[in-house]
Amino acid sequence: MNLTQSAGGDVLLRRYDYEDRWVVAADVGVDDDALSVDTVGDTAIVVVEANGDSTESEFELPGTADSVSVTNGVFTIEGDR
C-alpha cells in the first residue's frame, strides 16, 4: 500500500494505492447534507455549502471511480486499477 497526503486549508486528503484498487478520502468536517461529491471521468467535484456560502473544489483521481460515499463529513472515493 502506498499513501499520498495533501493538505489544503483544514482538509487533509489521503490517497491509498493498493495492488488492485485505490481509495481517496478526506474529512471535510461538515454535516453530510452540506457536502456533495460527484465524479466525472477521472475528476472529482466536491461542493460544500455552509453558512449560506458554497465552495467548489475539483481534483484529479487516479482513474475512474467505482463508488462515492459520504459519512459523518468524510467522503470516500474508490476505484479499480
Number of domains in the chain: 1
Average pLDDT over residues 28-45: 94
* Residue ranges making up the domain that contains 63: 2-80
Between CA 78 and CA 23 the distance in angstroms is 5
Beta bridge partners of 20: none
Per-residue confidence (pLDDT) for residue 9, from 0 to 100: 58
Between CA 57 and CA 53 the distance in angstroms is 13
Per-residue confidence (pLDDT) for residue 12, from 0 to 100: 80
CATH assignment of the domain containing 19: 2.60.40.790
The three cell numbers locating residue 51: 453558512
Per-residue confidence (pLDDT) for residue 36, from 0 to 100: 96
pLDDT tens digits for range 40-77:
999 999 999 988 899 999 999 999 999 999 999 999 99
Per-residue confidence (pLDDT) for residue 5, from 0 to 100: 52
| pTM for the whole structure | 0.85
